Structure 1
Amino acid sequence: MLVGDNVKAWQGPVRIGKSKWFIVEGDEYQEKFRLFKPKAIIIPSLDYDHPDYFKNKEVYLKSFYDFLNENKNAKLVTTVSVLEALKARGETFDVEDKKIFTESNFILPGEAYKSNCMLAIKMARIFGISADDIKHGISNFQGVGRRLDFYTKENDSIFVVYDYAHHPAEIKTTILALSSKYSEHTLVAVFQPHTYSRTKTFIDEFAQSFEKVYAVFFAEIYASQREAAGDINIENLIIKTHKLQPRVYRLRDFEPETLKKYCLKLEKPLILFMGAGDIWRYAEKFAELISSVQLNPH
């Protein structure tokens, strides 16, 4: 198996098994997933992204449509909405898959992660894996790096979490998942946009993504090697977001110590750092500050 980040139980992104099957996580950027000729395909969702490569949503969807046409004999497992969007034939999870999920101990919260897990259950059953083995695998799953990654202990009074979310759909999903599981906490988001083209294309969607948090702090836009500059800056996003969210701040105005003081005034703060750039470094430093407070509450 090969996935895009470290699987915590493996302490790495790769695991070598003994079967003939090779499971790989594909990447849609530059249509790299079309290099594969798979026997089976799982498409968890279709959220238009990478506007520097895919000029619009139609081009994005066509890439997946062409991929399925190139692999007509592959078993397809996906959601009803993806089947409809691609006008494709395939399978989705059913009552038996939901039953297996319910009888397992899956650690990730939220409906999106639940859906992803049930798609994996469906594919496992197609390949003849027993219900008991599937339940064992799910119940022993410890998560992957950069997805709902707790930088403080989950039983602490103050949580610091990092997630790789850098698309509006991912941000909403992450916020909803944490809000549903930790409803008694005050959720503060810290977000670093990734690439100028994505920020510009989805600026309205980004602005709408933070309505359900107590406050949001925006870091400067993270440039990439392929896109060093752009005709948009973080102030544009702050102005848009402020129309929907009263507490919007620029992170560069807050050193970690200042942000710590702001969060400590809140009731059971949960500070969620998101982005595909280097915001995790700030999150790590901030988690160290918070941990010292919890070790020395007086």
Structure 2
Amino acid sequence: MTGLILESGNFDPTVIVGSKVTNWDGNLKIGQSQYFVVEADEYRAHMLELNPKVVILNNLEFDHPDYYRDLNHYINTFQEFINKIPADGYFIYNLDDNNITQRLEKPDCHILTYALDNQAADIFVKSVKVEHGRQIFRPVYKKSELRDFNLQIPGKFNISNALGASLLALELGINPDVIKDVLSQYKGAWRRFEILGRIHNLTEDKNNALVITDYAHHPTEVAKTIAATKEFYPDKRLLVVFQPHQIQRTRQLFDDFVKTFSQSPADVVILSEIYDVAGREEKDVTKRISSEDLLDKIVLTENNDLVKGIKVKSQYFYAKDLIDTKAAILNEVKADDIVLILGAGDIDKVARELV
């Protein structure tokens, strides 16, 4: 979003991001100005190789357990990163994120904040509504109420992302109408709530299901993406397919994944076997956990809820590989369903084969 807004604001930035952007036909845009926008990668602390003038930090949550020892190690590495911002630079962060606000020492530079409804932030949102497949929200920037912005991608986390990008743009003097136009046209990136199309060539009771693919693989990302999808399509039956990414991550965040799915609004959940990331797994964990273990614990959790009188509506299925995953989808899908396929591995192949 930041790169597209700066481009439309005539800043002509060079941009490198972690996914393909339709406007640039790839993940790279070469500009001719001094502005260089990078989607920094925290894996193995690669962001420490950068020397940023501005950092926009959306959230801070433990991940990559194959490198980071624990949450403290993760946070301390980000602390080292933001400490690199020079005195005349900017640290722009999400005031709604507790780890950022409570556990990071703010660097000695210009500080700006954004939030969904915290009026202490430099930019926050006065109102949010979902209409006709769009999120419509009204930002308040330094006590000045702007006209409604809108996004055609779901989820309040995407509104937060838009606020961070908008705040930087406004500080650079870009007209709010330019920002509004860019956001309204933004369709996301490759494998970021990417709407692929509809399933056809099946029986009448299965045709016309909408297939969406998303890279989400952390339990919080997964939970927010499922919830956002249901918010956009509240009257549709939701079939979620998830392929956990990396055995070690699945083991370390196991309880979080159980919570995510046992509390999700999905009608059907298909858990494909874990995507084994070559070269990133510890030898002693590679055979210790499976998506089937995850399914068993989720079902047990839901059964306990059922005993407590809590209504349980989800159906769960395990698929040992991509062939079985696709077969399970085709067996369970119904006409006009929303089929949400999640994961950072090769599960995306199945999504594209369906349409």
Q: Same fold (TM over 0.5)?
A: yes
- Larger strand fraction of residues: 2
Structure 2 vs 1, CA of residues 217 and 209 (structure 1 numbering), >3 Å: closer, same or farther? same
Q: Provide, for residues 165-209 of structure 1, a one-character-per-residue CA deviation record: whole Å limited to 9, x for no partner.
A: 000010011011111110011111111111111000001111111
Amino acid at match of 1:125: L
Q: What's the counterpart of residue 18 of structure 1?
A: 32
With normalisation by structure 2, the TM-score equals 0.75
Which of residues 267, 270, 289 is equivalent to 1:217?
Answer: 270
Ranges in structure 2 where 5+ consecutive residues have no aligned partner: 1-14, 115-122, 126-137, 200-206, 303-313
- Report the identity percentage: 30
How many angstroms does 1:72 deviate by?
4.5
Query: How far did residue 104 of structure 1 move?
Result: 2.8
Query: Secondary structure in 1 aligned to 2:23?
Result: coil
- Asked whether the equivalents of residues 101 and 135 of structure 1 are also in contact (C-alpha less than 8 Å), the reply is no
**Which amino acid is 2:221 matched to?**
E
User: 2:293 aligned to 226, 230, 236, which one?
Assistant: 236
Give 1:247's aligned residue: 315
SS in 2 for 1:152: strand
SS of the residue 2:91 aligns to: strand
Name the counterpart of 1:271: 339
1:183 corresponds to which of 234, 237, 242: 234
Please list, as runs of the form range in 1=range in 2, the aligned pairs for 1:151-170 lying within 5 A after superposition. 151-152=196-197, 157-170=208-221
1:79 correspondence with 2:147: no
Question: Residue 219 of structure 1: CA displacement?
Answer: 0.9
8 A Cα contact 1:196 1:227, kept in partner: no
2:279 to 226, 248, 254: 226
Is the contact between residue 189 and residue 216 of structure 1 (CA under 8 Å) also seen in structure 2?
Answer: yes
TM-score, with length taken from structure 1: 0.88
Match of 1:104 among 124, 149, 158: 149
Give, in whole Å, the separation in 2 of the partners of 1:109 and 1:222: 26
1:88 alignment partner in structure 2? 106
Residue matched to 1:54: 68
Shift in alpha-carbon separation, 1:91–1:272, aligned structure 2, 3 A: same
**Alignment correspondent of 1:294:** none
The 8 Å contact of residues 319 and 328 in structure 2, kept in 1 or not, is answered as no
Give the C-alpha shift of residue 103 in structure 1.
2.4
Aligned residues: 284
Q: Where does residue 35 of structure 1 map in the other structure?
A: 49
Unaligned runs of 5+ in 1: 289-298
Per the TM alignment, residue 30 of structure 1 is displaced from its structure 2 partner at its CA by 0.4
- Give the direction of change, closer, same or farther, for the CA distance of 1:255–1:30 in structure 2 (3 Å limit): closer
Q: Distance in 1 between matches of 2:209 and 2:146?
A: 30
Alpha-carbon distance between aligned partners in 1 of 2:183 and 2:256, rounded to the nearest angstrom: 33
User: Which stretch shifts more, 89-98 or 184-193?
Assistant: 89-98
1:279, distance to aligned residue in structure 2 (A): 0.2
Q: How far apart are the structure 2 equivalents of 1:129 and 1:172?
A: 34
Give yes or no for contact 2:244–2:250 (8 Å, CA) kept in 1: yes
Supply the distance in 2 between the matched residues of 1:139 and 1:19 (Cα, whole angstroms): 25
What secondary structure is seen at the aligned counterpart in 1 of 2:83? Answer: helix
- 1:262 matches 2:262: no
Q: Which amino acid aligns with 2:27?
A: P
Output aligned runs, 1:195-210, within 5 Å. 195-210=246-261
1:135 alignment partner, SS class: helix
> Which segments of structure 1 move beyond 3 Å, counting only runs of 4 or more?
99-102, 252-255
CA deviation after TM superposition for structure 1 residue 259, in Å: 2.5
Contact 2:124 2:163 in 1 (8 A): no
Q: Provide the rounded CA distance (Å) in 1 between the counterparts of 2:222 and 2:230.
A: 12
**Would the alpha carbon gap of residues 127 and 59 (structure 1) be closer, same or farther in structure 2, given more than 3 Å must change?**
same
